[in-house]
Structure 1
Amino acid sequence: MPQFTESIVNAPELSQVESTLRQLLRPTVRLYATRTEEVLPLGVSKLGGYPGLPAELAWPVSLHTQKWFSRTVSAEIALPFLAQFTCSELKPYELSDLLPEEGFIYFFYAGSHQAVLYDDYGGGHQEFLEDAPSVFRVLWWPDESTPLQRQLPPENLATGHNMENGAYHACSLRPEAEWEIYAELCNEATVYPRHLFLGHSDDSQPYAIEGGYQMVRSEFWPELPPATASTAEQQTSRLLLQLDAAEETGMRFGRRGPVYFGIRDVDLQNRDFSKVWARTQ
């Protein structure tokens, strides 16, 4: 643990809550993005551009349904690609030892993007997509030696601001190990944009991860009893990825806030990325 973090936790004024603070500490990987006009190698960690996918992984397409005034509108949409990460590149900076030693993780998200949705009468409506389990997907591939193919998006891609030819600006990434503790304790100025892998979410409004969990709980885990007070459940979940709205990527989410991807601890331990959720603020 870095010396400055130890100095905060060990402060005499906080002695009564020291054990609680230590439980709250979560190291994160801070990601610094740099826009590039070069074509990045297929297997590197990056934001934007086109994904390098194994032949066995298809670009995610999802049936999305939402209300349009008194009607229900829906369509099969391809989810925009946001980021890919090579675990062996991040592992040296990931101090919590939660990531696998190797593998690829891909993030797709269509919330706040636009797509044509159709009503029961065949009428098409250009709509902003609302957050729902159908607008995000995380793909996982365990073997970094698998040949990759640069894939172009399908024609029915949901589109967002500043996307060109179905892609956001490609950005190379520089990871940095960083310990996170609540900002009130650090009392340090926050520098934006903040792209984070693991750690604590830097919420622009309260309960980003918790709100997303409540949104997907009944669909992802229908076997769970109805939630009356889910605080204990939510403490077993964590931030997987936070991507900020940023000029270098051209990405913009919600009201120009970040998008947060959350995962349950048990699913992360089991390398099950099929039930990751996403929420924007």
Structure 2
Amino acid sequence: MKNDTIVIGTRSSKLALWQADYVADCLRKRYPELRVEKKLMTTKGDKILDAPLAKIGGKGLFTKELEQDMLAGGIDIAVHSLKDMPTEVPEGLVISAITERFDPGDAVVSPKYRTLENLPQGAKVGTSSLRRKAQLLHARPDLQISDLRGNVNTRLEKLEREHFDAIILAVAGLKRLGFADRITEVLPREMVLPAVGQGALAIETRENDREVRNLIAFLNDEATVACARAERAFLARVEGGCQVPVGVYAVPEAEGRLHVEAVIASLDGARLYRDAAVGSAAEAESLGTALADKLLAMGGIAILHEIGLLLDRKA
């Protein structure tokens, strides 16, 4: 940070800009004398739109370029959707704050049919997420799941242009961009568990930049952090980036407890392993890791091996 100016790195999609502006506004309100600037960047995940994310491969598809610029001193902080963050952060960088979680749900957008239950046999449903695909097919094996890439606005346009009967998007993204009225159903978590950290923002900084880390500390929400620690520990244990068919969701309970629920499913939805655990929020990582071990032992390990081989063949 130079001359009382902090530079925020962000992707250039409307949702990413909303997230960066949200953090910028919080900083300006807290520190009226601080100058806050944005630097827009394009990531690999933004550039390759003609292939499913799972086929592109690698982790950090939406974060790597921002992280490289931060290490080079071009930006002071990067604002990400927490669900886009790999479980391993590059050396020299750290997640210094996680904001209070917004709605973590998954939304159905279907002007004609409204709900998943009302979709006809063989309906065409759009999503780019293996997690959503696997859980949806477990509930409705008849559905035809088609890949849907692009930012929120692009996906909403494709709903009609590419004749989808429904598309599935994150509730948080739709609400943040003013599209709450497009939501026709929020999928029950009994059916579809969200992605790790879905609905929360992660603010990444250089590890040794104490001044900036102290500046943004007020944005850190301890309850969300505990949930994220459990969820990210689960994901780290199953060795997945954002493109594996796993869902996990942690909720704070009374007396410092944490309830964590997770799922691992085959791509066709035929096999699904799901369980929950409750423990101390102070031991969030152990809770997430133990739950991952349990689901892997139930049969999840075989699914993940199969998916790895399947995606390797398709790549």
Q: TM-score, normalization: structure 1?
A: 0.28
Higher relative contact order (CA 8 A, sep 6+): 1
Where is the strand percentage greater, Structure 1 or Structure 2? 1
What is the TM-score when the length of structure 2 is the normalising length? 0.26
Structure with the larger helix share: 2
